[in-house]
Amino acid sequence: MAEQQFRWKGEFPKIGIRPTIDGRRRGVRESLEEQTMNMALGVAKLISDNLRYPDGTPVQCVIADTTIGGVAESAAAASKFAKENVGVSITVTPCWCYGTETMDMDPAVPKAVWGFNGTERPGAVYLAAVLSGYAQKGLPAFGIYGNDVQDAGSKEVPEDVKGKLLGFARAGLAVALMKGKSYLSMGSVSMGIAGSIVNDAFFQEYLGLRTEYIDMSEFVRRMEENIYDPVEFEKAFAWVKKNCVEGPDNNPEDIQLSRAKKDQDWETVVKMTIIARDLMVGNPRLEELGFGEEAQGHNAIVSGFQGQRQWTDHFPNGDFMETMLNSSFDWNGIRAPYIVSTENDSLNGAVMLFGNLLTNTAQIFADVRTYWSPESVERVTGHKLSGAAENGILHLINSGSATMDGTGEQSRDGQPAMKPFWEITEEEAQKCLDATSWRSASVGYFRGGGYSSDFLTRGGMPLTMSRLNLVKGIGPVLQIAEGYSVDLPEAVHKTLDERTDPTWPTTWFAPILNGKGAFKNVYDVMDNWGANHGSISYGHIGADLITLASMLRIPVSMHNVPEEQLFRPRAWGLFGTDNAESADYRACANFGPLYK
């Protein structure tokens, strides 16, 4: 089954490059045509060489047919961009241009302006003028200005400019890729978790996503009426029996499920996985089997499964389904991960989606469960924490739904990593599988049985933990903590892990401390975290998350990203420069949700 052929509906959004120019003819404009267009060509090449869509293909750029010297050419570029499905706009210029005549006026398209730092022509003057115009019109735009003066004929894109162009483009593409897609709520509210109260207004007004809903009884209907591909099921079941090793049953013997029930559960959870995927993105095979309506799917770029408790008190839990979909491989081979949130925590699903779109990698869903102080670890185990863990660690663990990519069994430059699917080898995928065992679900939690994944994340990976919270009167608020996964001696891990549920996957996480705000110590990170869940992404991507949040008008309440890496629209500085966090709140409140 070629998933790539139907998974992403429609074409991917492109990045539009707008070369603007001084409109004065008879020598001025003519002398700038080549330099201006070369800037556009250089930006397009930079982006296409470095960024990829979720399917692994290079990001496409569209350049205006001519340089833009006035309102007529600006309108012509807008018309071309509309036909070419442009979702992100970058304006480039080496000179003065007529600001309000040449600016991009689409309010829903993220926009940036690169003003060339050169002495021959006033590119910086245009940059300041047009950004002032954007602020005055309520259209926040990002300003890009190189640190060093360049010669007029230079075709080079300076390193600092490259960083800002790529950071803006990554975040802008995330905005454009979400627009028009869906969050699929499979079930409703799980155990009173507020994040699983799916807020339609948030998804619509901030992310441009529809909210789609199905009752969990749809899984039963599809299983009982055979609304899935039976050929794929047989292939999947054989693959699972070979690759998904069943671990020991930790339940007391008197309540352990029978072998016959466990075998039946394996069949059920494999069917649940296929059905959940088909619900999200559709499946043309269902059309061939006579299920034309079901073949369409819900065009969901992210979903959540309620599970507890109405489902899990009677049926096998959703852990296998969620783990398998969130991983970058299954019985059909190596492929892009699906984003599925446990317990239908839609807000954690949203930040999982942010991390995935920014990195093209799988995301770890976890409870932010326990802060272990150095003193507590030493008291319980006799071990003194050191290295990245010396100030304490957070135990990130959830009911077996975390991506198998989170084992850290993929590698980059000899170090553990989580990679885009097109970089993952068959050997690495197998290592992730081999590092994961499938434990019979804790019957106390999951009366209906099922299986939970169990693995330990390898230490040494740079990670970013994030979380969205909804606050009445404010709206969505983002939290970010960059840090590292850490290794503990095996006996120490075992002692700490067995104090909770050892059948679930564990990531030991040490946030980076900077002595400021919530990052004075590890306890404060835990104490200030806004919910019971977090999404963990490979790499230190806090700066990109902050850029993305500003595009969506979501303020950031806590982060440990170095100040020099922050990149927000230029207008944010007009809300105060003494405290960037407070200015962020004021700017987001002032401009309001992107799609409202």
Taking the C-alpha atoms of residue 167 and residue 325, their distance in angstroms, rounded to an integer, is 28
Strands laid side by side in the 300-305 sheet: 210-214, 182-186, 300-305, 340-342
Alpha-carbon torsion angle 494, 265, 282, 357, nearest 10: 0
Nearest of 413, 372, 401, 578 to residue 495 by alpha carbon: 372
User: Do residues 366 and 396 make contact, with C-beta atoms less than 8 angstroms apart?
Assistant: yes
Residues 6+ apart with CB under 8 A from 382: none
Q: Which of 73, 212, 294, 367 is catalytic?
A: 367
Annotated binding residue at 343? Answer: yes
Taking the C-alpha atoms of residue 439 and residue 420, their distance in angstroms, rounded to an integer, is 27
Nearest of 219, 343, 354, 227 to residue 292 by alpha carbon: 227
Reading the block at residue 194, the tokens are 């507020």
User: Do residues 167 and 543 make contact, with C-beta atoms less than 8 angstroms apart?
Assistant: yes
Q: Which of 104, 212, 278, 343 is catalytic?
A: 343
Using the Cα atoms of residue 5, residue 6, residue 11 and residue 14 in order, give the sign of their dihedral: negative
Taking the C-alpha atoms of residue 251 and residue 249, their distance in angstroms, rounded to an integer, is 6
Check residue 362 and give left, alpha or beta (phi > 0: left; psi -120 to 50: alpha). Answer: beta
Nearest of 565, 559, 555 to residue 590 by alpha carbon: 555
User: Do residues 522 and 392 make contact, with C-beta atoms less than 8 angstroms apart?
Assistant: yes
Our answer to whether residue 55 is catalytic in this structure is no
Taking the C-alpha atoms of residue 272 and residue 301, their distance in angstroms, rounded to an integer, is 18
Our answer to whether residue 343 is catalytic in this structure is yes
Annotated binding residue at 367? Answer: yes
Helix axes 346-359, 159-178, angle to 10 degrees: 140
Helix H or strand E encompassing 357: helix 346-359
Strands 364-372 and 393-397: antiparallel
Annotated binding residue at 533? Answer: yes
What residues form the annotated binding site? Answer: 343, 367, 533
> Residues comprising the binding site for Mn(2+)?
343, 367, 533
- Residues belonging to the active site: 343, 367
